[in-house]
């Protein structure tokens, strides 16, 4: 199994031929609509290098609970993590879960994402956002590095039970866990990311109120700055949110505890165009998982309109993490180009076509040589939609995916 690069320099980009073993779970809600095309996009991205993929289906979620009484069965964990001489999977693509709809007994267990993060110790959640043309914050180019195993989130900071407590009918407590070892680990990794992105690391904190917990982040950031030369820029979390809106180009790399990182990554995704396009990789010392930043969107499940770009971008990150840097880059570039030539509904709601003023004709799509899908004026971009998309109807899941496939197969967007 290829070794991960979360604590070391990226692996040499020297793959020619070979084989990769990846797991997948289609997921729930819109998951079964976006995961299959993501798998196909991965195959097409690897094909020019002669790399083949074996996919292993993972049993998870509500269906697994109905069959085994476990949301994440022991057999699935054994497949993912391996045992003995079996090294497990190189990585896996996780569709979204809808644990809010699980039976009460199932909701008492960790959801699929949390259980896999915990079992595989996927301690770094890396969420990059490069704004789409016409997005609310077109200058945004940021990577949020989120500590993934502790902090203020109750689903991952207790050995047993929950850190979210109701001590009386009217009093509740939330327990946050912050350890120097894990803070040192994530700030060290974030500094490596920052070194390749201008050498400045923004530290999201609230030390004026949380002096001991946020204070440790500042202490470890200063330590890593002294060791690496990376410039540290501490910013209170509330001020940082405001700055990302008012001056989106100011911050390039951000490190944050779990809850702060979750909030920041959704904010940056929306500023960059759409949460539906935001990718995410969860990585540890031995394993990595591609998982889109968005949820299961049960309200649009089955309509054929879900945007697979977020999961495809996550898969592109996974490929790069596993050492297939050119291939991951080709997939990410194709995903981005297709969002301009075959825009989906969420993207159309969040911005206008590349290079066009508000109210301009959407038939001119910069840099793609393609014309967006014509519209009768209904839906986003038509009546009541963003005026920059006048004359365009949103692409379906199949239409958008087909555009990504065409770009990859035709090598219109290459390394």
pLDDT at residue 390, rounded to an integer = 67
Q: Model's pTM, two decimal places?
A: 0.85
pLDDT digits (tens, 9 = 90+) for 205-259: 999 999 999 999 999 999 999 999 999 999 999 999 999 999 999 999 999 999 9
Q: Minimal CA–CA distance to 394: which of 276, 291, 295?
A: 276
Residue showing tokens 């904010």: 267
% of the chain with per-residue pLDDT over 70: 84
CA angle, 326 as apex, 323 and 330 as ends, to 5°?
Answer: 130
Nearest alpha-carbon partner for 275 in 55, 127, 407, 108: 127
Residue 337 has pLDDT above 70, yes or no: yes
Of 297-306, 363-372, 398-407, least confident by mean pLDDT is 363-372
164-168 and 171-174 strand pairing: antiparallel
Q: What is the dihedral of CA 260, 10, 25, 142, to 10 degrees?
A: 30
Reference 45, options 290, 372, 286, 346; nearest CA is 290
Instruction: Using pLDDT thresholds of 50, 70 and 90, give the confidence band for residue 381.
Output: very low
pLDDT at residue 287, as a whole number: 94
- The pLDDT tens digits for 301-335 are 999 999 999 999 999 999 999 999 999 999 999 99
What domains are there in the chain, each with its CATH number?
Answer: 1-123+275-344+397-415 (3.40.718.10), 133-273 (3.40.718.10), 346-394 (no CATH)
């Amino acid at each position: 199994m290829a070794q991960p690069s979360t604590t070391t320099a990226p692996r040499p980009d020297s793959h020619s031929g070979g084989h990769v073993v990846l797991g997948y779970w289609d997921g729930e809600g819109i998951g079964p609509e976006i995961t299959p095309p993501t798998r196909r996009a991965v195959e097409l991205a690897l094909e020019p290098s002669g790399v083949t993929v074996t996919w292993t289906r993972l049993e998870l979620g509500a269906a697994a609970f109905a069959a085994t009484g476990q949301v994440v069965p022991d057999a699935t964990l054994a497949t993912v993590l391996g045992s003995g001489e079996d090294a497990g999977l190189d990585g896996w693509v996780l569709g979204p879960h809808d644990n809010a709809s699980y039976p009460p007994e199932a909701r008492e267990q960790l959801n699929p994402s949390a259980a896999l993060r915990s079992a595989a110790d996927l301690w770094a959640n890396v969420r990059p956002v490069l704004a789409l043309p016409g997005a609310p914050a077109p200058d945004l180019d940021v990577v949020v590095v989120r500590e993934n195993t502790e902090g203020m989130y109750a689903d991952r900071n207790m050995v047993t039970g929950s850190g979210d407590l109701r001590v009386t009918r009217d009093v509740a407590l939330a327990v946050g866990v912050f350890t120097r070892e894990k803070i040192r680990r994530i700030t060290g990794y974030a500094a490596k990311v920052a070194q390749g992105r201008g050498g400045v690391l923004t530290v999201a904190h609230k030390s004026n109120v949380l002096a001991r917990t946020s204070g440790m982040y500042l202490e470890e950031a200063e330590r890593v700055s002294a060791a690496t030369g990376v410039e540290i820029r501490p910013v209170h979390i509330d001020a940082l949110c405001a700055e990302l809106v008012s001056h989106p180009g100011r911050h390039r790399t951000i490190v944050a505890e779990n809850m702060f990182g979750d909030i920041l990554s959704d904010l940056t995704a929306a500023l960059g165009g759409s949460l539906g396009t935001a990718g995410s990789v969860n990585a540890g010392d031995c394993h990595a998982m591609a998982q889109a930043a968005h949820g299961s969107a049960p309200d649009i499940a089955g309509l054929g309109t879900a945007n697979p770009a977020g999961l495809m971008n996550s898969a592109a990150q996974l490929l790069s993490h596993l050492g297939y840097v050119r291939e991951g880059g080709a997939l990410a570039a194709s995903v981005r180009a297709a969002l301009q030539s075959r825009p989906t509904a969420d993207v159309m709601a969040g911005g206008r076509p590349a290079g066009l003023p508000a109210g301009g004709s959407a038939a001119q799509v910069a840099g793609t040589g393609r014309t967006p899908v014509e519209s009768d004026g209904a839906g986003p971009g038509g009546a009541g939609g963003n005026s920059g998309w006048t004359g365009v109807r949103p692409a379906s899941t199949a239409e958008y995916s087909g555009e990504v496939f065409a770009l990859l197969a035709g090598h219109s967007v290459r390394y």
